[in-house]
Structure 1
Amino acid sequence: MKTIGVDVGGTFTDLVYCNLETGELAIHKVATTPDDPSRGVMQGVGEICAQNGVDPSEIAHVFHGTTTATNAALEGKGAVAGMITNDGFRDIIHIGRHQRPQHYSIQQDIPWQARPLVKRRFRKTVGGRLAPPSGQELEPLDEAGVRQAAEELKAEGVEAVAICFLFSYLNPAHELRAKEIVEEVMPDAFVTTSALVSPQFREFERFTTASLAAFVGPKVKKYIADLGDALTTLGVKGELRIMASNGGASTPAMVSEKPALTLLSGLAAGVLGGGWIGAQCGRDRLITFDIGGTSADIGIVVDGQVAEADARSTEIAGFPLLQPMLDIHTIGAGGGSIAHVDRGGAFRVGPQSAGAVPGPACYGHGGTEPTVTDANLVLGRLEPEDFLGGAMALDAEAAERAVAGFAETMGLSLHEAAEGILTIVNANMANAIRSRTVQKGIDPRGFALVAMGGAGPLSGAEVAKMLSIPEVLVPPYPGITSAMGLLTTDLKYDAIRTQFQVSTGFDADRLGRDLDAMFEDLTERFDADDVPAESRAFQRLGDLRYVGQGYELRVPLGDGPVDEAMLAQFWADFHAAHAREYGHAFTDSPIELVNIRLVGTASLPKLERLSAPEGGSLEAALVRRKPSVFRTDAGLETFDTPVYRRVKLPVGTPFDGPAILLQTDSTTVVPPGAEAEIHTSGSILIRLKDISGETE
Structure 2
Amino acid sequence: MEEFDSSLQRGILGIDAGGTFTDLAFWGEKDGAVVASAKTRTMHSDLAGTIRNGLEIILKEVKPEQIKAFNLATTLATNAIVENKLRPGALFLIGYDRDIADKYYRGKKFGTDLVYMIDGGHDPKGNEAAAFGEEAFRDSCDKMPPYVETAAVSSFFSVRNPSHELRARDILHEKRPDIHVTCGHELASELDALKRATTAALNAGLIPIVMELLDSVESVCAFFGIHVPIMIVRSDGSLVSMEWARVHPIETILSGPAASSIGACYLAGAANFSRGSCVFDIGGTTTDIIYLDGRGRPMLGTDGTTVGGHKTLIKSIDIYTFGLGGDSRVRFSKERKLLIGPRRVMSLCSAAADEPRVVGCLEDMIADGNCREPIVVFKGERGCPSGKFEERIVEALSEGPSTINRLMKNERMSNMGVIQLEEMEERGLIDYAGFTPTDALTAMGRLGKWDGRASELGALILAGGEEKSVAPLCDAVCRRVSLIAAENIFVKRLSAEGFDFSRNEGALALIDYALDSHDALSSSPLRLQLDRELIGVGAPAWAFIAGTADALSADLMLPENAGVAGAVGSAVGTFFLRYAVLITPLAAEGGYRAHLPFGIKDYEFIDNAVNDTINTIVPWIKSRAMDAGAKNPTVTYKREDTEATIAGGIRKIHLSTHIFFDVSDNG
Partner of 2:76: 68
Does 2:532 correspond to 1:447?
yes
Q: Which runs of 5+ in 2 are unaligned?
A: 1-9, 359-431, 499-527, 593-605
CA contact (8 A) 2:123 2:129 kept: yes
CA contact (8 A) 1:336 1:360 kept: no
CA contact (8 A) 2:303 2:313 kept: no
| Deviations 1:306-359 (CA, angstroms, capped at 9, x unpaired) | 243334363223322212322222222111111245799864322211269x88
Q: 1: distance between equivalents of 2:174 and 2:496?
A: 49
Partner of 2:122: 130
Return the match for 1:482 from 566, 570, 575.
566
Q: 2: distance between equivalents of 1:320 and 1:597?
A: 24
Q: 2: distance between equivalents of 1:316 and 1:343?
A: 33
| CA positional deviation for 1:258 | 0.6
| CA positional deviation for 1:280 | 6.8
Does 2:492 correspond to 1:436?
yes
| CA positional deviation for 1:90 | 5.2
Go from structure 1 to structure 2 and tell me whether the alpha carbon gap of 1:324 and 1:520 turns closer, same or farther (over 3 Å shift). Answer: farther
Q: Name which one, 1 or 2, has greater alpha-carbon Rg.
A: 2
Go from structure 1 to structure 2 and tell me whether the alpha carbon gap of 1:86 and 1:407 turns closer, same or farther (over 3 Å shift). Answer: farther
Go from structure 1 to structure 2 and tell me whether the alpha carbon gap of 1:57 and 1:310 turns closer, same or farther (over 3 Å shift). Answer: same
After superposing the two structures, state which structure 1 stretch, 487-496 or 265-274, moved more.
487-496
| CA positional deviation for 1:286 | 1.4
CA contact (8 A) 1:15 1:28 kept: yes
Does 2:448 correspond to 1:418?
no
Q: 1: distance between equivalents of 2:94 and 2:569?
A: 43
Go from structure 1 to structure 2 and tell me whether the alpha carbon gap of 1:508 and 1:461 turns closer, same or farther (over 3 Å shift). Answer: farther
Return the match for 2:47 from 26, 37, 46.
37
Go from structure 1 to structure 2 and tell me whether the alpha carbon gap of 1:537 and 1:408 turns closer, same or farther (over 3 Å shift). Answer: farther
Q: 2: distance between equivalents of 1:593 and 1:343?
A: 61
Go from structure 1 to structure 2 and tell me whether the alpha carbon gap of 1:440 and 1:22 turns closer, same or farther (over 3 Å shift). Answer: closer
SS for the counterpart of 2:530 is helix
Partner of 1:598: 661
Please, what is the CA RMSD of the aligned residues?
A: 3.5
| CA positional deviation for 1:255 | 0.6
| CA positional deviation for 1:532 | 4.7
CA contact (8 A) 2:636 2:663 kept: yes
CA contact (8 A) 1:495 1:597 kept: yes
Q: 2: distance between equivalents of 1:341 and 1:152?
A: 55
SS for the counterpart of 1:446 is coil
Go from structure 1 to structure 2 and tell me whether the alpha carbon gap of 1:207 and 1:369 turns closer, same or farther (over 3 Å shift). Answer: same
CA contact (8 A) 2:91 2:112 kept: no
CA contact (8 A) 2:90 2:115 kept: yes
| CA positional deviation for 1:412 | 11
Partner of 2:623: 524
Go from structure 1 to structure 2 and tell me whether the alpha carbon gap of 1:477 and 1:307 turns closer, same or farther (over 3 Å shift). Answer: closer
Q: 1: distance between equivalents of 2:660 and 2:197?
A: 20
Partner of 1:468: 553
Return the match for 1:295 from 286, 307, 313.
286
Does 2:231 correspond to 1:231?
no
Normalising by structure 2, we get a TM-score of: 0.71
Return the match for 1:10 from 19, 24, 37.
19
Where in structure 2 are the equivalents of 1:213-612 lying within 5 Å? 213-279=203-269, 282-283=272-273, 285-312=276-303, 314-340=305-331, 347-354=338-345, 361=351, 363-365=353-355, 368-382=433-447, 384=448, 387=449, 394-408=450-464, 413-441=469-497, 445-469=530-554, 471-498=555-582, 507=606, 509-528=608-627, 531-533=630-632, 536-540=633-637, 557=638, 562=639, 596-603=659-666
Bigger relative CO (Cα 8 Å, ≥ 6 apart): 2
Does 2:138 correspond to 1:147?
yes
Q: 2: distance between equivalents of 1:415 and 1:118?
A: 48
Q: 2: distance between equivalents of 1:530 and 1:88?
A: 35
| CA positional deviation for 1:590 | 9.3
Q: 1: distance between equivalents of 2:345 and 2:652?
A: 54
Does 2:148 correspond to 1:85?
no
CA contact (8 A) 1:453 1:478 kept: yes
| CA positional deviation for 1:474 | 0.9
Amino acid of the residue matched to residue 305 of structure 2?
T
Go from structure 1 to structure 2 and tell me whether the alpha carbon gap of 1:348 and 1:114 turns closer, same or farther (over 3 Å shift). Answer: farther
Q: 2: distance between equivalents of 1:233 and 1:405?
A: 47
| Deviations 1:172-197 (CA, angstroms, capped at 9, x unpaired) | 11112212222333333222111111
Q: Which runs of 5+ in 1 are unaligned?
A: 97-111, 388-393, 541-556, 573-585, 605-696
Partner of 1:686: none
SS for the counterpart of 2:87 is coil
Go from structure 1 to structure 2 and tell me whether the alpha carbon gap of 1:407 and 1:214 turns closer, same or farther (over 3 Å shift). Answer: farther
Normalising by structure 1, we get a TM-score of: 0.69
| CA positional deviation for 1:482 | 1.1
Q: 2: distance between equivalents of 1:412 and 1:160?
A: 61
Go from structure 1 to structure 2 and tell me whether the alpha carbon gap of 1:261 and 1:118 turns closer, same or farther (over 3 Å shift). Answer: closer
CA contact (8 A) 2:324 2:340 kept: yes
CA contact (8 A) 1:361 1:402 kept: no
Go from structure 1 to structure 2 and tell me whether the alpha carbon gap of 1:179 and 1:66 turns closer, same or farther (over 3 Å shift). Answer: same
Q: 1: distance between equivalents of 2:120 and 2:128?
A: 8
Go from structure 1 to structure 2 and tell me whether the alpha carbon gap of 1:53 and 1:601 turns closer, same or farther (over 3 Å shift). Answer: closer
| Deviations 1:578-623 (CA, angstroms, capped at 9, x unpaired) | xxxxxxxx9x99997686542211146xxxxxxxxxxxxxxxxxxx
More helix by share: 2
| CA positional deviation for 1:80 | 2.3
| CA positional deviation for 1:43 | 2.6
Give the count of matched residue pairs.
530
